[in-house]
Each structure stands twice: as C-alpha cells, then as structure tokens.
Amino acid sequence: MNYQWYPGHMTKAKRMMEENIKLIDLIIEVVDARIPLASRNPDIDELGKNKARLILLNKSDLADERENEKWTGYFQDRGAFVVKMNAKTGAGVKNVLPVIMESCKEKIERDRRRGIKNRPVRAMVVGIPNVGKSTFINAFAGKACTKTGNKPGVTKGKQWIRINKNVELLDTPGILWPKFEDQVIGAKLAMTGSIRDEILNLEELSLELLGYLHYYYDGILEKRYGITESDDRVDMLEQIARNRRCIQRGNELDYGRAANILLEEFRNGKIGRITLERVETEVDTEQKEEK
Ligand code: G4P
C-alpha cells in the first residue's frame, strides 16, 4: 500500500512552525499513545532543539497501560517531560500545568536573574493530525480563559490564551506532517485512523492489524471474535467474517465488512487497550544504528 502526503502542505506547515517556534519557550507535543513514534515527526527535534519539550501521551485510555509507563520512561530518558492523558475525558489534564512550570524552571530562573519579573511561559501545542491537539487545548484552556489580543512582537493575528498569570498558550496548534518515508509507519497511522479511510485498502490494512494483534496480544482475537488464532491472517479475517455474519449476495463472505468491523472496533478500544509499538524494539534498533 502506498500512503501519500502532499508536499505543498508540508512546506507551508513547516514555515508556520518555524515562525511560531521563535515566539515560544516550550513545545507541547501531542502523540498517540498507541503509536508513540509513528505519530510524531522527528523533524520537530531539530526545529525545536533549544526549547523545553513536554510530550503528551494522549489517548492513553486506548493504549496498554504497561506500555504507557514504558513510553513515559523512554521519552523522559531523552530529556522530555511527559504527561499521560485522555484529552477527551480530561483525565490527566490537571497534571499538565505543574509540569509546564517544572519544564521551564531554568527560563524562569534566568528571567529572575536578569530582573525580568512575571514574564509568562509561552507554549505551543504541536502534533500530526488527529492526535487530539484541539481536544487537549479545549480541555486545558477551558472556556473561562480569556484570549489576549495582538501584542507587539507577535506575528499579526496570533492569539494567546492566558492559562494563568504564569502560562500562555498559542491558540492554534502547529500541525506536523506525518513521516511517510516508511510504509510501516503509514500502516500504523492508517490503523489508528489518522489517514482518511477513502484512500486506503481496508482489507489489506486489516490483515496487517490482525498480524500485530496476534503477535503482541496472543489470544485477544480469540476472546473478541471466537476465532482460532494463527499466522494465517487471511484465515483469521475469514473466520471473523463468518462469525460476524458478513455475507454478501451469492452467499459469499464479505471480507470488506469484516475488515471494517475489525478496524472500527480496534479504533474505539473495543478489542482492548492496545499499543502497536514497543520500547524494547525501538531501543534495539537505536543501539544497532549506533554501532
Ligand atoms: P487534532 O486537533 O490533533 O486533529 O485532533 P482532535 O482534537 O480533533 O481529536 C481527534 C479525535 O480524537 C476526536 O475524535 C477526539 O474526540 C479524539 N480524542 C482526542 N483525545 C482523545 C483521547 O485522549 N482519548 C480518546 N479515546 N479519544 C480522543 P472524533 O472521532 O473526531 O470525534 P468524537 O469521536 O470525539 O466525536
């Protein structure tokens, strides 16, 4: 399968990001806890190399709690602050403010030494589409917060949301483009619903998902769909089609419908809390690359 992204969008998004990054102290990067690496664009590390970083492990309600803990450690080991959350219900959102203050301690101290008092920390939320940036901004900023108008030195039209006297947030998130060089990454983004379904071959995608589920969560498909699991992914899809009565005209099995059911139920957490990426695999790869 070939996953596409549009170069025009990329250039525009990158330019906006570069402009906005100059204005802020802290980058709040939202990632999807089910695919913490595939859902980030590593170019942000270069773009924001002199800024403090807070990673929000969002949709943690859909991801495996054990893996959430491991990914928290992974990003912390690489110098980021991390908060695990569910932006949709607001769970974990209250932990964000104290961590922002902690992550900008050095800046606040530096300001104090220079005699600058009460300059708020400025932050921008970034992330690829669909990770929950807007949901987070709404949950974090709430309705009670006042938007501050244009200020000198701020690109015209930019709005800041004043969270409290110490923190301001750029009201529009920075959109990063997913990294599409790697088809495995494309597939993971598609599975979690970050790429529009119309451009995808859903049957092929569902076979890939079946492979992951059987490999990482042996028994989970048997429990949900009453099938016998094996490495034969087509056979598993066929069993799902049969057990869920996906039949089309001529009494043929409807694989398309079975694929839809599987993807839909995975995306809304009905199959279980699932993480498709493992810290161990990632660290192994990093070590091999270093050699
Ligand atoms: P974006 O700005 O980064 O593009 O993402 P957005 O906030 O629009 O969120 C994308 C989808 O993800 C929304 O679902 C949103 O409700 C859901 N979402 C965001 N954060 C979480 C979370 O922590 N957990 C879960 N389970 N879902 C989350 P939608 O399908 O567009 O709408 P709806 O299902 O909420 O109606």
* Angle, vertex CA 89, rays to CA 130 and CA 84, nearest 5: 70
Q: What is the reported pLDDT for 150?
A: 45
**What is the pLDDT confidence band of residue 265, given thresholds at 50, 70 and 90?**
very high
Give 149-172 pLDDT, tens digit per residue: 444 444 455 689 999 889 999 988
**Whole-model pTM above 0.85?**
yes
Domain assignment present for residue 18? The answer is yes
Q: Is the CB of 58 under 6 A from ligand 1?
A: yes
Residue 7 pLDDT:
63
Q: What is the mean pLDDT of residues 184-191?
A: 91
Q: What percent of the chain has pLDDT over 70?
A: 91
CB 127 within 8 A of CB 27: no
Whole domain around residue 46: which residue ranges? 8-171
Please say whether the dihedral angle defined by the alpha carbons of residues 127, 130, 133 and 134, taken in this order, is positive or negative: positive
**What integer pLDDT is reported at residue 226 of this predicted model?**
98
Statement: residue 1 has pLDDT above 70: no
Q: How far is the CA of 190 from the centre of ligand 1 (A)?
A: 15
Q: How far is the CA of 137 from the centre of ligand 1 (A)?
A: 12
CA angle 196, 19, 87 (to 5 degrees): 45
d(CA 232, CA 218): 13
**Per-residue confidence (pLDDT) for residue 79, from 0 to 100:** 95
- Give yes or no for residue 68 CB within 6 A of ligand 1: no
Which of 244, 238, 277 minimizes the C-alpha distance to 39?
277
Instruction: Judge whether 184 lies within some domain.
Output: no
pLDDT in tens, 95-130: 999 999 999 998 889 998 999 988 999 999 999 989
Q: How many domains does the chain have?
A: 2
Does residue 160 sit within a domain? yes
**C-beta of 127 in contact with ligand 1 (< 6 A):** yes
Asked if residue 117 and residue 32 are part of one domain, the reply reads yes
Residue 15 has pLDDT above 50, yes or no: yes
Tell me the pLDDT tens digit for each residue of 36-90.
999 998 889 999 998 999 999 999 999 999 999 999 999 999 999 999 999 999 9
What CATH number should be reported for the domain holding residue 111? 3.40.50.300
